Copies of this chain bind each other. A is one copy, B any other.
Amino acid sequence: MRDVSIIGIGQTPVGEHWDRSLRHLAYDALAAAMKDANIEWADALYVGNMLSGEISGQAHLGPLIADFAGLRGIEAVKVEAACASAAAALRQAYIGVASGLQDIVIALGVEKMTDDVGSQLTAGLASAADADYEVIHGITFVALNALIMQRYMYQYQLKREDFAGFAINAHANGAGNPNAMFQQPIRKEDFIRSHMVADPIGLLDASPMADGAAAVILCPTEQARDFTENAIRIKASAVATDSLSVHDRRDPLWLQAAEDSARKAYRQAGVGPQDIDFFELHDAFTVMSALSLEASGFAERGKGTWLARDGEICLEGRIPITTRGGLKARGHPVGATGLYQVVEAVQQLRGEAGPNQVANARLGMTQNIGGSGATIITHIFERLDL
């Protein structure tokens, strides 16, 4: 098995791209990554996407995007794991290079959510949950997360505003990221006064729907210096799953798949949570930030919000999270999000994060979550000094 590194990254700004179709967004990110890696060809393309069939009437993105990007003929396939689709694409790209079958591999995430001609978006997002046992009762995806947050607040005696720190931190960091959908800071009063979406989830608890694409280029670490001076090593890659139905889990307030995938990742990397310099977590809703921090070993059970309250998640804190805005402020183009996290982790480790730079970042972790915790994919990245 070969060691694998990232030699190129690319992304589009996140937002409402009325003038760019799905294939154009994909091309923009892919071409930028190929230019960054200084390559003109690849052995394989793995596309992460969740909703192109429902929203754009377009399946079969592998060959579509390969062809449009000038890579006609290469091995290309789509990978889907709801909101974790992009990290799932990276996972398959990683395995392809590690296996020795493929040398230069592209992992791309793309989602075009604004082309919702058939008004399928709410139903499409709900398809990440269990259609036969959850969605059939009329629940939406945000409502499902609202039930989790209700229970969390009840169990740990918290108020809505205890979650404010996650959104405030995300927006503060988004202000420094030119690719973020929202670049304006928010105050605690804004959070408290924000419109209710599904009680207790307010507008500023929830990440926005968006269009976007992000891509990375992988190759064997031993070949990385042929392409770049600032390769970033994939030190761990781990996937775990759980029941799709939240009611079917042993504990709806514990992300078992986060614990499992983080544990596997720490073991592969030979590190623990105390060694991680920053953590790009999946803050689709503020409560998910708390759950992710707890199950991944950064906070005790029920104390995830304490890290936000105490400023530990800020750039200078003990464990900086959502350093470039996270899902909340950078935006959440669902099937692309996992690779935005990775692109941002690479920027941090290269020292290219501008005003959001985490000082002396050597080890970064990303965690992409599908379906309120049914798929959780954790990666750890390390700066290589070649």
Are B81 and A81 interface neighbours, CB within 8 A?
no
- Asked whether, in the complex, the Cβ of A241 is within 8 Å of the Cβ of B75, the reply is yes
Question: Which residue of chain B has its CB nearest to the CB of A66?
Answer: B241
Q: A77-B79, A81-B62, A126-B57 are in contact. Are A101 and B374 (CB under 8 A)?
A: no
Instruction: Tell me whether A158 is interfacial, beta carbon within 8 Å.
Output: no
Whether A53 contacts B56 by the Cβ 8 Å rule is no
In the complex, the answer to whether A75 meets B240 with C-beta atoms within 8 Å is: yes
B53 touches A1 (CB 8 A): no
**Considering only CB atoms, which chain B residue lies closest to A97 in the complex?**
B99
Does A307 make an interface contact (CB < 8 A)?
no
Report the minimum CB–CB distance from A267 to chain B (whole Å). Answer: 14
What CA separation (Å) do A53 and B260 show in the bound complex? 27
Copies in the complex: 2
A375/B62 contact (C-beta < 8 A), A79-B78, A239-B75, A239-B77 known? yes
Asked if B95 and A59 make an inter-chain contact with CB atoms under 8 angstroms apart, the answer reads no
Chain A interface extent, by class: 35 or more
- Residues of chain A from 97 to 121 with CB closer than 8 A to chain B in the complex: 98-101
A219 at the interface (CB under 8 A from B): no
Q: Considering the chains assembled together, what is the distance between the CA atoms of A151 and B213 in angstroms? A: 38
Interface: A321 (CB within 8 A): no
Is A243 an interface residue when CB atoms closer than 8 A count as contact?
Answer: yes
Q: Write out, one digit per residue, whether chain A residues 24-68 have a CB within 8 A of any chain B CB (1) or not (0).
A: 000000000000000000000000001101101111111110110
CA of A61 to CA of B244 in the docked complex: distance in angstroms? 9
User: Please, which residues of chain B bring their CB within 8 A of the CB of A270?
Assistant: none
B77 touches A88 (CB 8 A): yes
Q: A361: CB under 8 A from chain B? A: no
Complex Cα spacing A95 to B101, Å:
8
State whether A244 and B64 are in contact (beta carbons under 8 Å apart), knowing that A95-B95, A95-B96, A126-B57 are contacts in the complex.
yes
Q: Mark A149-175, 1 if CB is under 8 A from B, else 0.
A: 000000000000000000000000000
